[in-house]
Structure 1
């Protein structure tokens, strides 16, 4: 996943040799800078907060690799839930050999001082998956899809980190169960909407939800907006 001509990628690759022993720490950051042939000022120009930003760059690199893999994979024959499962599995398989770095990252972002960074990184992974799978929602669903997937992904990561089964088969079974749980909720919501008794009660909340727009989604009544 690294590119030796890219100093950021070189720093990440170098760090992965030290993080399993020293975590995403100042010691790992300094050692990575040395191994990548960068001075500390040069390294800090790339990663202003040091190891924290380096850990975030490692996470973003994994997201980018996943998106690239999904772009070259034909998922047309899969159900949508299976596409989501495939995306999450792909994301984890791409960092399988750096599992300890992922574990150390989870530990780092569990600290209160870095919790916001960890939540943002998790959300960005969920957003990358939905975007790669062609999600076109622009209302409340945009948020609920990413929030739900963040929960599924984070739970799967924690299970995967402790999984000792052959080829992580237990993790993929766990993932399937989590996605099935989500699909059961969606089926229940659909049943409520289609119910002659409960359906009308949802009209108000659904009208309100439709008014919530995803980031970048322009209101339909703006001048120049095409109306169907």
Structure 2
């Protein structure tokens, strides 16, 4: 008897109009005041070929892609942020072709093995199904391709903050911040999904400034087997 045919989940509407406007202002301020701009540049350095950016937000990464990238497909489900990303893609500061498309991380609008790299940038925290999103990356990136990630997550080595993050994630934080969770383990999720050559470094953002539940960042890369 043949195995049943499987399909990716149907795309769900994603609308956070108030949070989207708040995030747009917050992300722009963080780029300048918290040094996030430099982390974005490091995240994207050395990429080449076709890239899919998942959860592109308001497009702050676009101007930082190197000229060796031939095309960026930027997936963003939230309408307000997608419109902002589309405007950012047309900026004179952007050196590479960027196509902004609607879609969700757990059902990427792309064919199998069509990209040389995938990028997650401050998005794994808010996905309803991280494992499914990572499985989708494995599907659309060619064997040997890259995954680059810059995320915030669990406060490793700080038990009290981890407990506080757990309380926030189970109560108010996701409701206030568009589904965001403070205490996820992005490196563990990426490793468990089957990516290889996982390397990363931990960052405190803002460096030398006040510490928030969302201050514990990781910046790194991995390989699609």
- Same structural fold, with TM-score higher than 0.5 when normalized by the shorter chain: no
The higher-RCO structure (CA 8 Å, 6+ apart) is 2
TM-score after normalising by structure 1? 0.21
Q: Which has the higher helix share?
A: 1
TM-score after normalising by structure 2? 0.21
Larger Rg: 1
Q: Which has the higher strand share?
A: 2
